[in-house]
Structure 1
Amino acid sequence: MIYPLIKQESDVGNHTISMMCQVLSVSRPDYYRWLHKRERETKDLKERISRIWLTSEKRYGAGKILRKILQELVPLNRTCSIKRLQRLMKQLGIRSITRKKWQPVTIKEATTQERPNLLKQDFSTNEINQKWCADITYIETQADGWCYLSTIMDLHSKMNIQ
């Protein structure tokens, strides 16, 4: 608990390391051993984070990377907090790939035109090709992005007219 305090105060520049070690009755070589051990652990963690992130094809975020790292560190009697992992990921410039969710575009009422309702909810027919209805569907595909499927159906025969 004393070593992080010494490091914090020395980083700020308030006191020298020798003076703080002397006042707190701590060996200066022990402090430096702790400091270099911490730096080695940080370097090791950064390498593990980078390796796991690259093997996941840059998809994993802090939560999944932490789970993978803890699987490796627990047998070594070591641990890492989520905050430390996030800080190291930020230092490395690592972020998970996120996709924006698609949201339909709303059209302002001023730009839409009123169309007459020709069927008036009467879908009954006496012969083929008397009344048709149409629909369009948006389909998101992995390879091509968005594709559009448009269908036209005859209301009498219930057949699609392509």
Structure 2
Amino acid sequence: MSTYRYIAQRASQAPVRQLCQVLHVAPAAYYAWQRHRQQPRAEPAWQVAVRECFAYHSQRHGTRRLRAEVQAQGHAVGRWRIRRVLKAHGLRAQQPRSFVPRTTDSDPAMRAVPNRLLGQPAPTAPNRVWVGDITYLPRQGGGWLYLAVWLDRCSRKIVGWDVRDTMPEDLVSEALRRALAVRRPPAGLLVHSD
């Protein structure tokens, strides 16, 4: 226990000047310690900047990004100090869950159609085999676009496509209808998609 704390505890039992004299402490030093203890400590500017940046970015930035931003504001601070400040305030960066949209309905009760492309050689002429699939594209403002594409397996060129904000059942069939209208393939065309 420090001498000043001892004096503070015994101040109700004896005069402060007498306690200071016995313990060989200057009364002015004791009173300065007491004023300093009662004043709330100002938080350093870099710590305030760290917490403000963390809140501004919706609690998603980690120590690397926070360090870059706080250093850009003119505060020389490292990742470990930032980590200690975040921990002291009970703050932890939130990691968003990655979103993977479902493009295939895997219903085990549905009977799968056999794959007729297995074991066949690659086509040597265009408009013999078309393969199709659906993919998703992230939008700049958030959300997704769904793209259905039909590809000629011989020429590796896209023969038909359709893109929409949602994924209705006719997304693939509309892309196929467009491909059939433009290409007009001969009889015997093999169309494959999952």
Q: Distance in 2 between matches of 1:84 and 1:2?
A: 27
Q: Distance in 2 between matches of 1:62 and 1:87?
A: 14
Partner of 2:50: 49
**Across the two proteins, how many residue pairs are aligned to each other?**
138
> What stretches of structure 1 of length at least 5 have no aligned partner?
7-15, 75-79
Deviation at 1:119, TM superposition (A): 2.5
Counterparts in 2 of 1:111 and 1:63: CA distance versus 1, 3 Å: farther
Counterparts in 2 of 1:17 and 1:66: CA distance versus 1, 3 Å: farther
Q: Give aligned-pair identity as a percent.
A: 20
Counterpart secondary structure, 1:84: helix
Deviation at 1:157, TM superposition (A): 4.5
* Higher alpha-carbon deviation: 152-161 or 43-52: 43-52
TM-score between both structures, scaled by the size of structure 2? 0.46
* Structure with larger Rg: 2
Deviation at 1:100, TM superposition (A): 1.8
Partner of 1:19: 9
Does 1:136 pair with 2:134? yes
> What stretches of structure 2 of length at least 5 have no aligned partner?
12-18, 161-194
Deviation per CA, 1:43-62: give whole Å up to 9, x if none.
75664334434666765345
Counterpart secondary structure, 1:42: coil
8 Å contact 2:122–2:153 — kept in the other structure? yes
TM-score between both structures, scaled by the size of structure 1? 0.52
Deviation per CA, 1:25-53: give whole Å up to 9, x if none.
683640440452xx332375664334434
Partner of 1:102: 99
Higher helix share: 1
Task: Report the RMSD for the aligned CA atoms in angstroms.
Answer: 4.6
Counterparts in 2 of 1:41 and 1:156: CA distance versus 1, 3 Å: same
Does 1:82 pair with 2:83? yes
